[in-house]
Amino acid sequence: MAVEKADTVRQAAAPQEPAAPGRLMGAAFESAANGVRVREVEEDSPAAAVGLQSGDLITALNRTPVSNSKELEAALKASKGQSVLFLERDGRNVVLVLP
């Protein structure tokens, strides 16, 4: 199964109150301008196992944009089976498959 990678530009909506940092899958997250920033990843956690790294900017899950950790958590809970995480790392687009 091929996963299409695409650069996208999203216009930021009106500034909102930043969401409180969250923890999920053994990683800490915080809201960022165009997605959810990974603040830290615990060793041997599910997040580390799939390849998440500190500093990654998660932009979408299963092609649905996420802008805070609550949206990311809700999207993960709603997904059935395998999920695809879209993120930016060091200026490059990266796609990770979550089991």
pLDDT greater than 90 at residue 15: no
pLDDT greater than 70 at residue 14: no
Q: Please provide the average confidence, as pLDDT, over all residues in the chain.
A: 80
Structural domains of the chain in order of their starting residue, each with its CATH number: 22-98 (2.30.42.10)
Q: What pTM was computed for the model? A: 0.74
Q: Which two tokens stand for residue 9?
A: 């530009």
The residue among 20 and 48 whose pLDDT is bigger is: 48
Confidence of residue 22 (pLDDT cuts 50, 70, 90): low
Three-state SS across 22-91? EEECCEEEEEECCEEEEEEECCCCHHHHHCCCCCCEEEEECCEECCCHHHHHHHHHHCCCCEEEEEEECC
Q: Which residues pair with 9 in a beta bridge?
A: none
DSSP 8-state class, residue 20: P
